[in-house]
Structure 1
């Protein structure tokens, strides 16, 4: 979550709710019943993260490691993960959601960031030996989406927002290895 410090600060600045209001909603069982009855929410926050991380991290990655070695497997497996998201192209073409060129440009961008994200979750899975970390990261990233960097650069409090974007990236890089130390997770080998 620290990587998304900038977008989270930006969201908190632009949100009309007070913190207490947000906590009341988050603790309200009716809110969660509403979420659980929404098929898109279930797909994006529960089913896709669980099934995709199970397939690509828990099943595919351990099979690739003996064949390719650890490093190549961490970077090969996410390519399959990126390709698995090309179904969005078919949906966009079918429903004419943009020009063909813009749809394929969008698909190339989505492939790139899903492959990078896949390498990150593969790293987490390899380092921790647990699937819960990649699943929670996947669900969180599906919820937040790709950071709106252009909106951050145009924000009325641009310097503050950009500061937190940079702080988040710095903390992410500094904390990545220590927070995924296998000693915290029982040294479970993959």
Structure 2
């Protein structure tokens, strides 16, 4: 007859083991991603096309290896689930169109203020801003620019696949869906501290200035990472986070200080406020799992898991 005290104890030990394996696997992925950027020894600045091409090749290789890390974690932690590895990582067909469109529209709503600001400063007004956004020739020129390809394509795809698609399925069984949303961005935020090395190497600023900029970047990337993790968990797709990431990279941080000095600052500030309020109102509605079908990653959390 089994000892009644022995069973629960073994279950707890198994859970702790799974959590340690999970955290170490996430740490390994983060280190591989950042470390791959420094495989190439070079004195060139980070925006030099040659260095960009090398680094893009490195992070693409790490991203291609990330499914193998998730598979190894499933084996080590003895995790079994009725979904394919790619489905767990958010690469699936069910609900693909709404997963690509709705989160992106939600992000654009948040950026209502900056978009209105950009349109106001365009010599041709809102029509000119729209024409610029839809100009095919302009897009073709961008596609040939190494910096644009890195910021708008390679970085969003590889970072979301590694830091959301690979890490969240490993974190969910250990700490649950909601806690995983706030844990995964910490790996993402800390990974961006590598910019300190480059800024120091190129003597771009004082150490206090470098740490200040890096601290702000850590805060921004962590908050943004929590948002894309939320989108991933609510939709079960990685395409939404990728497109949101690409759009945010194109816009940068909202320039509130510039809006305060604008001749039409009242209208601008109103658009900033409306964008934020609409974003909060639509956040759960637009990411309702009913639009996206069954979320495979929730099977890792057991039958009692809910969509945040």
What TM bracket, shorter-length normalisation?
A: over 0.9
**Structure 2 partner of 1:157:** 264
Taking the TM superposition and a 5 Å limit, the aligned residue runs for 1:39-188 are 39-188=146-295
Contact 1:53-1:134 at 8 Å conserved across structures: yes
Normalised to the residue count of structure 1, the TM-score between the two structures is 0.94
Counterpart in the other structure of 1:2? 109
Larger relative contact order (C-alpha < 8 A, sep ≥ 6)?
1
Structure 2 distance, partners of 1:167, 1:155, is: 18
Q: Which structure 1 residue ranges, 4+ long, deviate > 6 Å from structure 2? A: none
Once the two structures are superposed, residues 80-139 of structure 1 have per-residue CA deviations (whole angstroms, 9 ceiling, x without a partner) of 001111122222212222211011001001000100000000000000111111001100
Deviation at 1:189, TM superposition (A): 3.1
How many correspondences in the alignment?
A: 190
Q: 1:48 & 1:136 partners in 2: Cα distance?
A: 11
**1:33, distance to aligned residue in structure 2 (A):** 2.4
Cα distance in 2 for residues equivalent to 1:168 and 1:26: 20
Structure with greater helix percent = 1
Aligned partners of 1:25 and 1:31 also within 8 Å: yes
* 2:296 counterpart SS class: coil
Offset of 1:17 from its aligned partner? Answer: 3.1
Residue ranges of structure 2 left out of the alignment (5+ in a row): 1-107, 298-308
Q: Please give the secondary structure, in 1, of the residue aligned with 2:266.
A: helix
**2: distance between equivalents of 1:50 and 1:112?**
21
Determine the structure 2 residue equivalent to 1:17: 124
For structure 1, the 5+ residue unaligned runs are none
How far residue 70 of structure 1 moved from its aligned partner, in angstroms, is: 1.4
Distance 1:59 1:95, change over 3 A: same
- Mapped to 1, the partners of 2:138 and 2:261 lie a distance apart of 32
Determine the C-alpha separation between the residues in 1 that align with 2:117 and 2:157: 28
Kindly state the Cα deviation for residue 28 of structure 1 after the two structures are TM-superposed: 4.2
Distance 1:29 1:3, change over 3 A: closer
Aligned equivalents of 2:248, 2:270: Cα separation in 1: 21
The higher radius of gyration belongs to: 2
Verify the 8 A CA contact 1:126 1:189 in the aligned structure 2.
Answer: no
> Are residue 34 (structure 1) and residue 141 (structure 2) matched?
yes
- How far residue 23 of structure 1 moved from its aligned partner, in angstroms, is 4.7
- The CA deviation at 1:27 is 4.3
| TM-score calculated relative to the size of structure 2 | 0.59
